[in-house]
Structure 1
Amino acid sequence: MIRVLLAEDMHMIRAALTALLRLEPDIEVVAEVTRGDEIVPEALRVRPDVAVVDIDLPVMDGITAAATLRERLPSCRILVLTAMGQPGQVRRALAAGIEAFLVKDAPGDRLADAIRRTAAGLRVLDAELVSSAMEYGESPLTPRESTVLKEAARGSSAEEIAARLHLSPGTVRNYLTGAITKTGARNKIDAIRIAEDAGWL
């Protein structure tokens, strides 16, 4: 029996995935979580063979949680669920050592097969998804530009970012301008979107 932890914040999707997996004689959903920060504690409690993790989770994103889970519970294999439009996130996951991906709009019967393959230690990669992910290069942003852009993505003003990072508001604006230029964006909002899509934040 393959023991599965399911991490998905959308109630209807999670319920549908659980119902689908209950039809499989060799797969048992032993835990369900809705937030990224719940994955590791719950996995350490129930010891699943496979964690099926959505990338877009509240509090902590699925990739960060999956990378932490790999360190804390190496015996647990990880299958990441992703949308086709997130090549940058797939690139981040590959860099974090995650080797199993399933596109969210894949046919339902592929989920059970992907879980079995993941549990067996096999790679589960969508060739088109990985190819798309590889089109993005390394981030052109400096660590400080990335930090400032992340803070801006949370809705913080230049003054708030400056106070939090112990910088002057002018320096924060310079970092934002650098990020806009390097991403080829029209403005700060566009730079955030481009960087997030590319997996640079």
Structure 2
Amino acid sequence: MNRHHALKAQIQRLFPDIYLYVEVVSAKHIHVQEYESDHTTYILKDIDSYERQASIDAVSHKLGKIHFAKITIPINKDKWFSIVNSKTIYFIPIDGKKGLLGGISNCDFIFWNKKDFCFVELKLNATATDDRAIRKNRQKAISQLKETIFFFDGILNKDYFGLNLEAYVSTPDIYPRENTAWQSLKVEFLEKTGIDLFEKRAKIY
């Protein structure tokens, strides 16, 4: 069994209802956006750039039964996290009303392929660009990433089947990249988690 398949099997043993959350997607360009209605991230399907809308695969519970439905949501390219040239990925929303762990203290989603296992937190609604606001937004994202990383480290006994671990804070393009303030956060994050931290809106292979 390949490493990424083995990891999925292990997570499925830990979460028997994982089929309600995990998506397996094969595409050259995969775009993820938070749906404001339930504060959960989804992979966008059937993207219509002209109408600025796309579909998502949503799950709901009615009268004790599970229902899968494809619904249409508005899209904004400035709020996407993109995964490019990965071929196949496994995707699980973590935070939000429909996420695996729910609440607001975890990162938004995780995804993995045959090479990497990535934790991602979206902070793309930010508009303030003063140093204090940027620092606060980054620190909040890092706190949510750590919470999720420590959770998975615990249940998996830090065994990610040899996959490379990465963490992403996805912030607006107006943020300064790789400045001194960010570098210090990266170093501290690596020391605390053993994982490299990036501030990007895409993972490109």
TM-score, scaled to structure 1: 0.27
Give 1 or 2 for the bigger CA radius of gyration: 1
Larger RCO (CA under 8 A, 6+ residues apart): 2
The structure whose residues are more often helix, as a share, is 1
The structure whose residues are more often strand, as a share, is 2
